[in-house]
Amino acid sequence: MIINKKTATGLEYIEIHNKSATAKVALQGGHLFHYQQQGKTPLLWLSEKSHFQTGKAIRGGIPLCWPWFGKHPADLDLPQHGFARTSFFRLVESNEPDKKTTELVLKFESSASTLSIWPYGFQLILRITVGPSLTVALTTINCDTKAFTISSALHTYFAVSSINAVSVQGLDETEYLDALTGETKIQRGIFRIKEEVDRIYQKTKSSFKIIDSDRVIQIISEGSSSVVVWNPWIDKSTRMADMQADDYKTMLCIETANAFKDARRLIPGEEHTLKVTLMEI
């Protein structure tokens, strides 16, 4: 079942129910902010203080960082993580191929307003498949006459029982840029989060696991060779308007990305898909 709904603040979203899962996707940002397999707890974290307001990104779920990840390389006045997460997507297709699967296709294209910020013609196609696993695939098509380079991320906020109980598998022996210090380091051994973490892993594998005390979450990335790991810890959570001071204990971002050296250059007519599949196993 696919239902069109609105939050109390007037933000439109699509609610999905099928035999395997439920999900919610806001049209602003093509932002999936809830996914829950039947009989399980939500896979994604969502801040209780999140703004569900026009022009403000939702804090939680899977914000789409695009066409640049992080700060704009040349103009710090431009929004962090690009403009896609606060732009409106259109629902262009929805299918229920069987009782366990729902597929949505959303679209966002260049306009006079995007061209004034980022001077390229593009189409962004978001395919979401809600079933026993969740797949989010973001396709960028270069519709311009000149090449462009994008950096991006499916900025996934996972819900965890307690950050102290969690370890991340799949990043061992991988080089990363520590965004907090600017240093490049190599991940060694079991990765546990014990302080603020903001890292871009490069030349990554494509399969990762979050090992929690009561479940294991599998992450499979495609079209990506970088992963961002972020937890704001207590000081940053306290400073953020849309998080509570102790929210860092129950969330962890593992972001399937095309970030830093993994930015992608697309020539006219070329397309690239950044994709993630998530499930509790």
CB of 234 to ligand BG6, least distance (A): 14
Draw the binding track, 193-212, toward ligand BG6 (x: CB under 6 A; -: no contact).
-----x--------------
Please identify, using beta-carbon distances, which residue of 126 and 228 lies nearer to ligand BG6.
Answer: 228
Tokens at residue 241, please?
A: 């308007």
Tell whether residue 80 is a contact of ligand BG6 (CB under 6 A): yes
At position 221, the amino acid (one-letter code) is S
The count of chain residues that interact with ligand BG6, using the rule CB under 6 A, is 9
Site string for ligand BG6, 16-45 (x = CB under 6 A): ------------------------------
96 included as an active-site residue: no
Verify binding: residue 179, ligand BG6, rule CB under 6 A. yes
C-alpha to C-alpha distance for 243 and 22, rounded to whole angstroms: 24
CA distances from 211 to 39, 168, 175, 195 (A): 19, 6, 21, 18
| In the complex, minimum distance from the CB of residue 1 to ligand BG6, in angstroms, rounded to a whole number | 31
Check residue 72 for interaction with ligand BG6 (CB under 6 A): no
- Strand, coil or helix: 71: coil
Pick the catalytic residue from 31, 72, 81, 155. Answer: 155
Asked if 181 is part of the footprint of ligand BG6 (rule: CB under 6 A), the reply reads: no
Encoded tokens for 179: 């965004």
User: Which residues are CB-neighbours of 182 under 8 A, at least 6 positions away?
Assistant: none
Residues in 223-242 at the binding interface with ligand BG6, rule: CB under 6 A: 228, 230
Residue 27 CB, nearest distance to ligand BG6 (Å)?
A: 19
Burial (Cβ within 10 Å: 0-12, 13-18, ≥19) of residue 51: middle
Pull the structure tokens for residue 152: 């991006």
* Residue among 255, 271, 272, 280 flagged as catalytic: 255
Question: Mask of contacts with ligand BG6, 142-171, x by CB under 6 A?
Answer: -------------x----------------
Residue pair 156/278 in contact (Cβ under 8 Å)? The answer is yes
Note whether 25 and 94 are within 8 A (CB). no
Q: Is 155 a catalytic residue?
A: yes
The residues near 40 (Cβ < 8 Å, ≥ 6 apart) are 215, 280
Q: Enumerate binding residues for ligand BG6 (CB under 6 A).
A: 57, 80-81, 155, 179, 198, 228, 230, 255
Catalytic residues: 155, 255
